Amino acid sequence: MSLVLVLGGTRSGKSIFAEALATEATSERVLYVATAMNAGNDAVLDRRVRDHRERRPAEWGTLELGGGELGLILEEADSWDVILFDSLTMWAAARMSGEERDLIVGEFEDFASRVESGPGNFILVSDEVGLGVVPESAEGREFRDLLGFLNQRAASVASEVYLCVAGIPMRLK
């Protein structure tokens, strides 16, 4: 098993880089785990989701997870060569609206432990939120802190970690 973590800011090229890694790893057997779900009230998000769909090869599978249980991803691990989870940021945001921080952390801890010791190759995409402005709201600061913790946990079990800036991936680990 391996986990590759791809971090970066908004529009940093992290998803395109992660997709290229998945393509290099295997020609067909990729499961794309989509977490950006939109109820149709955000035209910008709709366009980004459409762009992601259009970029993916037709033979890749898709699991639309949204803020769903991470265990669903692990159930698929044996059926695919690579699982591309894009993104931890959107998953955490969806979960934050309905759950306590400790429950989110606990679920991700279990996921990370199982990825570390189980079968499958994972590519995990997440936003690096610790380099920007301190959020004005308490909720924004709580989210930044939660995602920063989840990113640290993912990096601790990852065999490789990349940071994308201006479309350029830099290997950190």
Helix (H/G/I), strand (E/B), else coil: 107: helix
Query: How many C-beta atoms lie closer than 10 Å to residue 156's C-beta?
Result: 13
Write the CB contacts of 34 (distance below 8 Å, at least 6 apart in sequence).
49, 52, 62, 63, 64, 65, 66, 86
Spatial separation of the C-alpha atoms in residues 22 and 172, rounded to whole Å: 18
Q: Which of 29, 48, 52, 153 is catalytic?
A: 52
| Residue 107 a catalytic site member | no
Spatial separation of the C-alpha atoms in residues 15 and 161, rounded to whole Å: 14
Spatial separation of the C-alpha atoms in residues 25 and 14, rounded to whole Å: 17
Spatial separation of the C-alpha atoms in residues 167 and 3, rounded to whole Å: 21
Residues tagged active-site: 52
